[in-house]
């Protein structure tokens, strides 16, 4: 099509010749806090364990939980995951008791702070999913605000799809990824 | 017939790349399919090597691979031919006219001593028997690969009329196991170098316009924070660490500022911030999601994705502020806008019934073409010459990189051998 252009074009190529590439010095990110709180979405969601075997966690049961209700497995405050429907940021009725319990704790402990971490499933683009996860954490924040929790006690952030289980084959897998995790400031 | 040919071609190229992997540390393998209807027939002859010079025919192989990958050239098979010329004076033109070559490249490599070599090359017009390009490069032996890309770029520009992009670089995130690494490699995937790595996610790499720095989002502090890192010194600086999310960095064309997405306690909104981290200004004010900002090449507007109208679509707003106006109307879900360097085209991701693909919109007439064939394609990014779009796709559940020519005719896949590769960003041409 532009055969003429092809043969007529001038030696602009010369301009490219002198390019030299910038050397790259790698930088290591220091991971200051050791270990992400493992996302135990599977057990939390259904409460059922496979093969009829119930795992006993010696650390929390035998050694007690130093009286901290946030870490007492028998206390609803130890439940930290709120799950969402597809394309939705509505906090479902079944998570109402969980949200109320955390609101009550935060109102009673004005020095306590939480980070609400929003998450999405892997479908969609990464940055858009960061925004969708944020919308979910904002929805939980608004629920806490209505129950009297101060803005200064809450930070809403989003991991988008970054913590999502990859290559989900079915809806129950996708659903595990659509959630807000409540993380207390000293955790 | 053409299909069978393409299959053979891709197998040959695959084998060819395995051969190359032994001589250089390749991270990505390339498969090519399709091709332009009008390919320029060209002969690329092996460069003669003086004693003491061992480039192992790399120049000839790389130039050939580069030109083939564009889909715009038919590189003639010269294997088995005797007495191949290595200077223009040695060329017996009737032989090459009979092969229907329009152009041919000849060259030789000489030893300059002191660890330097000289690569001389000529591109000849076979029909007119005239020289189109004549160049020599005095280099260290470690620069053979980059020199070969420069030769391919010179041939491409001479015969196609736009600068080549073979000598350019790409960045991407490579996840191996639980570790995330931002890497920079040659455009053909060779010479991968680590820029930064972390056990927490790294997303959204963005080149500064001069190619010297990268902005990216790191989750090392358990929340998204924007860092800017110098590639040559490795020095990292936090650009934005405000309450809530700090994400989606995009440089202005002059490199003086960035568009970023912050949330504080609400939904994602777009801000601008000076490259030194000062002068933060809110650009969009909505109760919807506004994210994925990108500057238009003239620096006057910021395009972004937003669900202010219900489903996500692409909007634009003047950099100075004002009311956003909608850019995409076709399709129910369009996100991740990226500009061609000349500002004429906008590439983005369209979700069509759960299938995410690369779309290209001609901004002069609004026409849209779907370019990619995947179902989870993301992160479109133009080559510096605007001819090719690099994007992320999924192959058997793993992230891989792919390219498609802007006319949709030539596709390539660059797949990493061990990792999960995502979020490619094609580097601008370094201004020197």
Q: Answer whether residue A103 shows pLDDT above 70.
A: yes
Residues with Cβ within 8 Å of residue B415, at least 6 apart in sequence: B28, B29, B31, B395, B398, B400, B401, B421
Lowest mean pLDDT among A45-49, B192-196, B230-234, B389-393: A45-49
Distance separating alpha carbons of residues A49 and B339, to the nearest angstrom: 50
Q: Is residue A182 part of a domain?
A: yes
According to DSSP, the β-strands at B73-75 and B202-207 are unpaired
What is the arithmetic mean of pLDDT over A119-133?
95
Tell whether the model's pLDDT for residue B27 goes beyond 50.
no
Is A143 within a domain? yes
- What percent of chain A shows pLDDT beyond 70? 65
Sign of the Cα pseudo-torsion (A134, A163, B381, B429, in order): positive
| Residues of the domain holding A101 | 67-187
* Residue A106 forms part of a structural domain: yes
Q: Higher pLDDT residue, A33 or B117?
A: B117
Return the pLDDT at B57.
75
Q: Would the CB atoms of B267 and A167 count as touching at under 8 Å?
A: no
**Angle of the B58-69 helix axis to the B144-160 helix axis, nearest 10:** 40
Angle between helices B58-69 and B2-23 (to 10 degrees): 140
Better-predicted residue by pLDDT, B361 or A40? B361
Average pLDDT estimate for A56-77: 69
- Does position A51 have pLDDT exceeding 60, yes or no? no
Is A21 a domain residue?
no
What percentage of chain B carries pLDDT values higher than 90? 79
Nearest to B118 by CA among B64, B48, B191, B45: B48
pLDDT digits (tens, 9 = 90+) for B213-265: 999 999 999 999 999 999 999 999 999 999 999 999 999 999 999 999 999 98
Residue A105 lies in a domain: yes
Above 60 in pLDDT, residue B99? yes
Q: Which residue has the tokens 């969980």?
A: A98
- DSSP secondary structure of A69-133: GGG-TTSGGG--EEE--TT--PPPGGGHHHHHHHHHHHHH-TT--EEEEEE--S-S-HHHHHHHH
Q: Which pLDDT belongs to residue A65? A: 58
User: Residue B39 class from Cβ within 10 Å (0-12 exposed, 13-18 middle, 19+ buried)?
Assistant: middle
| A159 alpha-carbon distance from chain centroid | 4
CB contact under 8 A, A13 and B211: no
The residues facing B429 across adjacent strands are none
Mutate to test the interface with A, among B248, B268, B313 (most CBs of A within 10 A): B268
Tell me which residue of B368, B426, B420 sits closest to B393, measured CA to CA.
B420
Here the CATH number for the domain that contains residue A166 is 3.30.1330.60
- Confirm or reject contact between B203 and chain A (CB < 8 A): yes
Per-residue pLDDT, averaged over B61-71, amounts to 92
- Asked if this assembly's ipTM is beyond 0.90, the reply is no
Q: Is residue A31 part of a domain?
A: no
**Within 10 A of A182 (CB to CB), how many other CB atoms are there?**
23
Least confident of A35-49, A65-79, B47-61, B171-185: A35-49
pLDDT in tens, B166-217: 999 999 999 999 999 999 999 988 889 999 999 999 999 999 999 999 999 9
User: Torsions phi, psi of A46, nearest 5?
Assistant: -105, -25
Going along chain B from its start, the domains and CATH numbers come out as 35-160 (3.40.50.10070), 169-426 (2.120.10.30)
Handedness of CA B289, B293, B296, B299 (dihedral sign): positive
Task: Report CB contact under 8 Å: B245, A130.
Answer: yes
Residue at A146 is within a domain: yes
Cα–Cα nearest to B259, from A127, A176, A170, A47: A127
Q: Which of B81-90, B150-159, B376-385 has the lowest mean pLDDT?
A: B81-90
Average pLDDT over residues B37-53: 87
**Considering only CB atoms, which chain B residues are within 8 Å of A7?**
125, 159
The most confident of the ranges A119-133, A163-177, B72-86 is A119-133
At B408-418, the pLDDT tens digits run 888 888 866 67
Encode B238-267 in three state secondary structure: EEECCCCCEEEEEECCCCCEEEEEECCCCC
In chain A, which residue's Cα lies nearest the Cα of B312?
A128
Is residue A60 within 8 A of residue B229, CB to CB? The reply is no
Compare all CA atoms of chain A with the CA of B260 and give the residue at the minimum distance: A127
Residues 121-160 of A with CB under 8 A from B: 122-128, 130-132, 134-135, 138, 141, 151, 154-160
Domain count, chain A: 1
CB B184 within 8 A of CB B196: no
- B157 and A13: CB-CB below 8 Å? yes
Q: Identify how many contiguous H helices and E strands chain B contains and give both numbers.
A: 4, 31
Q: Distance (Å, rounded) from C-alpha B275 to C-alpha B273?
A: 6
- Domain-located, residue A24: no
pLDDT tens-digit readout, B260-280: 999 998 999 999 999 999 999
State both tokens at A40: 């135990």
Task: Give the pLDDT confidence score for residue B82 in this predicted structure.
Answer: 83
What is the per-residue pLDDT for B38? Answer: 81
Judge whether residue A52 has pLDDT over 80: no
């Amino acid at each position: 099509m532009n055969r003429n252009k092809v043969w007529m074009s001038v030696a602009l190529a010369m301009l490219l010749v002198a390019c030299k590439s910038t050397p790259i010095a790698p930088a290591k990110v220091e991971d200051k806090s050791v270990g992400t709180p493992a996302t135990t979405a599977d057990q939390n969601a259904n409460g059922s364990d496979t093969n009829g075997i119930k795992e006993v966690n010696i650390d929390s049961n035998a050694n007690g939980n130093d009286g901290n209700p946030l870490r007492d497995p028998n206390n609803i405050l130890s439940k930290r995951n709120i799950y969402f429907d597809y394309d939705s940021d509505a906090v479902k009725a079944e998570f109402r008791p969980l949200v109320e319990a955390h609101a009550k704790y935060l109102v009673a402990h004005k020095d306590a702070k939480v980070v609400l971490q929003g998450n999405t499933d892997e479908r969609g683009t990464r940055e858009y999913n960061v925004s969708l996860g944020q919308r979910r954490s904002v929805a939980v924040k608004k629920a806490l605000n209505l129950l009297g929790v101060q803005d200064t006690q809450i930070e809403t952030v989003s991991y988008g799809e970054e913590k999502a289980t990859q290559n989900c084959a079915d809806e129950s897998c996708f659903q595990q990824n659509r959630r807000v995790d409540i993380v207390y400031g000293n955790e | 017939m053409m299909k069978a040919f393409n299959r053979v071609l891709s197998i040959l190229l695959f084998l060819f790349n395995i051969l190359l992997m032994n001589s250089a540390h390749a991270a990505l393998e390339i498969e090519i399919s399709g091709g332009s209807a009008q390919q320029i027939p060209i002969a690329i002859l092996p460069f003669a090597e003086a004693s003491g010079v061992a480039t192992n025919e790399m120049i000839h192989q790389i130039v050939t691979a580069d030109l083939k990958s564009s889909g715009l050239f038919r590189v003639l098979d010269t294997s088995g031919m005797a007495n191949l010329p290595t200077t223009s004076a040695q060329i017996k033109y009737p032989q090459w006219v009979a092969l229907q070559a329009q152009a041919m490249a000849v060259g030789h490599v000489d030893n300059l001593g002191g660890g330097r070599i000289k690569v001389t090359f000529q591109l000849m017009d076979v029909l007119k028997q005239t020289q189109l390009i004549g160049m020599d490069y005095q280099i260290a032996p470690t620069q053979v690969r980059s020199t070969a890309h420069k030769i391919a770029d010179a041939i491409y520009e001479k015969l196609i009329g736009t600068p080549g992009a073979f000598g350019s670089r790409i960045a991407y995130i490579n996840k191996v196991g639980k570790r995330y690494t931002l890497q920079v490699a040659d455009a053909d995937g060779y010479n991968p170098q680590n820029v930064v790595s972390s056990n927490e996610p790294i997303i959204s790499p963005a080149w500064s316009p001069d190619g010297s720095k990268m902005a990216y989002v790191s989750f090392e502090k358990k929340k998204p924070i924007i860092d800017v890192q110098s590639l040559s010194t490795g020095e990292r600086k936090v650009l934005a660490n405000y309450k809530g999310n700090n994400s989606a960095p995009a440089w202005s064309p002059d490199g003086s500022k960035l568009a970023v997405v912050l949330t504080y306690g609400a939904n994602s909104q777009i801000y601008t911030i000076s490259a030194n981290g000062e002068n933060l200004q809110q650009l969009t004010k909505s109760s919807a999601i506004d994210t994925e900002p990108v500057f238009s090449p003239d620096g006057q507007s910021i395009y972004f994705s937003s669900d202010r109208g219900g489903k996500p679509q692409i909007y634009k707003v003047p950099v100075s502020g004002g009311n956003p106006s909608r850019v995409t109307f076709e399709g129910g879900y369009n996100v991740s806008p990226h500009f061609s360097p000349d500002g004429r085209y906008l590439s983005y991701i369209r979700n069509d019934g759960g299938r995410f693909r690369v779309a290209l919109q001609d901004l002069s007439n609004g026409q849209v073409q779907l370019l990619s064939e995947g179902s989870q394609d993301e992160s479109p990014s133009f080559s510096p010459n605007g001819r090719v779009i690099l994007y992320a796709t999924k192959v058997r559940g793993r992230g891989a990189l792919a390219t498609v020519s802007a006319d949709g005719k030539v596709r390539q896949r660059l797949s990493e051998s061990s990792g999960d590769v995502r979020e490619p960003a094609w580097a601008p041409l370094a201004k020197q």
